Amino acid sequence: MEKRSLKEIQSLKERMGAQLKELNLNPKTQKKSKKAVKGFTDFIQNKETDNSYDNKEMLLALEKEYIDAAKINDVQTMKLLGRAVNVDAKNLVGLNIMHCAAINNHTDIVTFIIYDLMMKELDKEDLSGHRAFASAAEHGSVEMLQMLMEEAYNMATMEEDQNGDTPLHLAASNGHLDAVQLLLKSFDTRDEVNKLGETALYLAADAAHEDCVQALLEAGCDPNIVTMGQSSALHPVSEKGHTSLVKLLIENTAQMDLQNQHLQAPLYLAVKNCHIPVIHTLLEAGCNINITDHRSQTVLHVAAELARVDIVDMLLKAGMDLTLQDKQGKTALGVAARADEVIIVDMIIKAERYFTWRRANTELNENLHSQSPLTFKLDHRAESKHVRGTAWHLAYRLLEPDDWKRLALHWHFTEQQVAAIEEQWTGKRSYQDHGNRMVLIWLHGSELAQLNPAKELYQGLLAIDKKTVAGIVYP
């Protein structure tokens, strides 16, 4: 919206004259009528508008022009129209000319209102409970904020609005860094909460305004104040995948294991929404990976339900407690088996066997995986292609229906692990699929233990009385 030209202002004069005439308030004739003079005087001096001005149809056209002039810093038009309008008119959301000037950072308009119209009383609340100072903060009008804080105006206030938000809340939630910094410098306001229990820091984080979050943290705001829903600032940024904000909050003492009203920690929300960089950040920072939610589910239960192989692999490598059960008595392995997530079932069994082996071999050094990084995903490496081919030939061509279970027990698979493998796929030849999966799971652990897979497989076949098969596989 631009300021009006002289031609447009002349048009306004003509329209104003017509409206004054219609109201019997034409300046050229009003002196002839005491009643008209009184009507004009009452019209101009009435500072308290009634509800008619809240109605779109009843808001006079010239009053709309007057409010628009305040929005575009058009003092000349306001001076002209001020003779014919109720200067206290407000729009449908309760904004008067003072609000409009504050929102648009028009300091000249406020000066005109205060010193020309002599109507400081226009500094009143809109329908949201915002005075001019709050409106300026909400829209980042820094020059306006500075002026309203001056002694000559004395209109600064950190009062809460109808939602309990202070001007600092409003500036922070809308990402107005300069306004946030000014308010922090000028007022002792930091960790006040609104009606939802949200601080300015929480709102800035929730809206991903990183520069405002930084400023608020530097000013000493507490990142661990929780809302009515028991969420801290770390919860929404983890849920929405804002990795840099997660790092920033953690670096500034944000507690990673706070649980919201559903007992969900930030890691849970990151896993649920599949934000891998955030998950990595939280794991690297040392969050508690075994926290359970209101259903007693761990993040691994959630990742298994979502069938997110990459996330499951991250969590398994972090060393989760794989024995934890949800309220239905299901471990993460049980959840994956119930959902027929074959790949994840096999990954969890690999992890169970691997960590059992590590606990039994504590003397192993940390360089164990220096050449081949630990993973529980399917093996697609070229160097393992031959032995994987051998496993397939064994399972689909040589083993009989119960042989794979006997071999599994020889290799110390648990009953739960065997049952989980067997839960997927049924039919007369399903044992072939089960056997192939079991051998590949075993092969994963054999290689990590730096054993000779060929030798171990040969000895295993001999142990279950499959000497002929052993001779075929390794003649």
Our measurement of the distance from residue 278's CA atom to the centroid of its chain's CA atoms, rounded to an integer in Å, reads 11
Average pLDDT over residues 46-66: 48
Identify the residue with better confidence: 423 or 12: 423
The 10s digit of each residue's pLDDT in 175-195 is: 999 999 999 999 999 999 999
In sequence order, what DSSP letters do the residues of 286-298 get, joined into one string? T--TT---TT---
Tokens 């609000």, residue? Answer: 99
Give the pLDDT confidence score for residue 391 in this predicted structure.
94
Give the pLDDT confidence score for residue 424 in this predicted structure.
83
Give the pLDDT confidence score for residue 388 in this predicted structure.
94
Identify the residue with better confidence: 91 or 199: 199
How many Cα neighbours within 13 Å face the side chain of 356? 14
Identify the residue with better confidence: 75 or 36: 75
The answer to whether domain 1-157 has CATH 1.25.40.20 is yes
Using pLDDT thresholds of 50, 70 and 90, give the confidence band for residue 31. very low
Q: Where are the domains of the chain?
A: 1-157, 382-473
This model's pTM is above 0.85: no
Using pLDDT thresholds of 50, 70 and 90, give the confidence band for residue 206. very high
Using pLDDT thresholds of 50, 70 and 90, give the confidence band for residue 23. very low
% helix, strand, coil for the chain, step of 5 = 55, 0, 45
Using pLDDT thresholds of 50, 70 and 90, give the confidence band for residue 58. very low
Give the pLDDT confidence score for residue 21 in this predicted structure.
47
For helices 403-410 and 430-448, the axis angle rounded to 10 degrees is: 20
Give the pLDDT confidence score for residue 365 in this predicted structure.
56
pLDDT at 39 over 80: no
Give the pLDDT confidence score for residue 59 in this predicted structure.
47
The 10s digit of each residue's pLDDT in 314-345 is: 999 999 999 999 999 999 999 999 999 999 99
Long-range contacts of 382-390 (CB under 8 A, 24+ apart): 384/443, 384/447, 387/443, 387/453, 387/454, 388/440, 388/443, 390/454, 390/457, 390/473
Of 269-273, 279-283, 353-357, 471-475, the poorest mean pLDDT is in 471-475
Q: Are 319 and 353 in contact (CB under 8 A)?
A: no
Intrachain domains 1-157 and 382-473 with the same fold: no
Percentage of the residues of the chain whose pLDDT score is greater than 70: 80
Average pLDDT over residues 136-163: 97
Task: Please give the single-letter amino acid code of residue 316.
Answer: L
In sequence order, what DSSP letters do the residues of 443-469 get, joined into one string? HHHHHHTT--HHHHHHHHHHHTT-HHH
Token pair for 336: 């994956």
Using pLDDT thresholds of 50, 70 and 90, give the confidence band for residue 118. confident
Radius of gyration of the chain (CA): 36
Using pLDDT thresholds of 50, 70 and 90, give the confidence band for residue 427. confident
Nearest to 109 by CA among 79, 80, 131, 138: 79
Average pLDDT over residues 116-134: 93
Our measurement of the distance from residue 350's CA atom to the centroid of its chain's CA atoms, rounded to an integer in Å, reads 34
pLDDT at 56 over 50: no
| Domain 382-473 CATH class label | mainly alpha
Q: Are 248 and 201 in contact (CB under 8 A)?
A: no
Distance CA 346, CA 304 (A): 12
The 10s digit of each residue's pLDDT in 79-90 is: 655 555 566 778
Show the CA angle centred on residue 443, arms to residues 322 and 299, nearest 5°. Answer: 20
Average pLDDT over residues 362-377: 73
